[in-house]
Every structure is written in C-alpha cells, then in structure tokens.
C-alpha cells in the first residue's frame, strides 16, 4: 500500500512568508496619529462694535468690525481692516449723495456712492460714519 499524505489541517494554514503580517495579529494596534493636544477653551466671540449702513435703491455702504463693504448694483466689494490704508468720505458735488472711498494698502482706490433721500439724511450719515470710523480707525 502506498503512503498517503497527511490530511490537511483546518483552514488554509499560515500565509506564505512574503504575505505574512509584520506583527502578529494579536498585537495591539498602534495609533496612526500623534498625541492628542490639550483641550483649549473655545474662543470667546468678539462683542459686536458699532455699525454704519447707508442704502439706496441700488447701492449700499457698510462699515463694521470686519471692515468696509460696498454693494454696487448687485456686486459686492469687501475690504477687511488689515488691507485698508484709509477711508475717506464726502458729499457728491450736487449734495444728493454720500461718496465713500477706500484706499487699499497697495494704493488702489475704490469708491461707493449712495443717494441720500431726503437730503437731510446725508448730514445724519456724516455724523454716524465719522463716529464708526473713529471707533475702528482712531488714528485715521
């Protein structure tokens, strides 16, 4: 009688050496990330400061804690305080509108114009705008 090979064991057996896992399967897994940083308290919200808003049918000028925003016929231009060199304002030559100009740090100049109806509103805007700009840009 010829000798028969021994019967196979349960399953397929261990994988060939080139496919064997680097660590035994029972070893604890190492985290793939670094240590957890200490818990920091959430940042406190900045209390809102004063705001200026001038609006007409097509345009708007907003000055607040983030900077100056022009809304001009549906297009928005936002300027953050760190990128603003200066802000200027005056009445239009006919005295019917507020003209606000932002001078960017690189020297570019942007202007927003808002009609004041009634004209007395223009004087109110001047007082409000001067106070708000003085709050955010006390040195000019």
Lowest-confidence pick of 75-79, 91-95, 136-140: 136-140
DSSP 125: H
Structural domain contains residue 122? yes
Q: Apex CA 120: angle with CA 125 and CA 80, to 5°?
A: 15
DSSP states of 46-84: PPP---EEEE-SSEEEEEETTEEEEEETTEEEEEEGGGE
Q: What is the CATH number of the domain that holds 75?
A: 2.30.29
Tell me which residue range forms the domain holding 110: 52-135
Structural domain contains residue 59? yes
Average pLDDT over residues 68-88: 95
Structural domain contains residue 36? no
Please give the Cα distance from 98 to 92 (Å, whole number). 6
Average pLDDT over residues 13-31: 63
Structural domain contains residue 19? no
User: Domain total for the chain?
Assistant: 1
Give the pair of three-digit tokens for residue 52.
Answer: 């200026």
Average pLDDT over residues 35-47: 65
Structural domain contains residue 31? no
Provide the mean pLDDT of the chain. 83
Structural domain contains residue 65? yes
Lowest-confidence pick of 7-21, 45-59, 85-99, 114-128: 7-21
Average pLDDT over residues 64-71: 95
Report the chain's terminal Cα–Cα distance, integer Å. Answer: 109
Structural domain contains residue 114? yes
Q: Pick the residue with more confidence: 137 or 30?
A: 137
């Amino acid at each position: 009688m010829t000798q028969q090979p021994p019967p196979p064991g349960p399953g397929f057996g261990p994988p060939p050496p080139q496919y064997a896992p680097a660590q035994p399967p029972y070893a604890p897994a190492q985290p793939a990330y670094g240590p957890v940083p200490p818990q920091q308290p959430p940042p406190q919200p900045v209390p809102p400061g004063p705001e200026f808003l001038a609006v007409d049918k097509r345009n708007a000028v907003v000055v607040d804690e983030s900077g100056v925003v022009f809304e001009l016929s549906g297009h928005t231009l936002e300027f953050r305080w760190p990128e603003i060199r200066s802000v200027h304002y005056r009445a239009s030559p006919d005295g019917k509108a507020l003209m606000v100009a932002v001078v960017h740090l690189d020297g570019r100049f942007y202007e927003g114009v808002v009609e004041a109806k009634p004209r007395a509103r223009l004087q109110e805007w001047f007082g409000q705008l001067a106070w708000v700009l003085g709050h955010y840009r006390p040195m000019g």
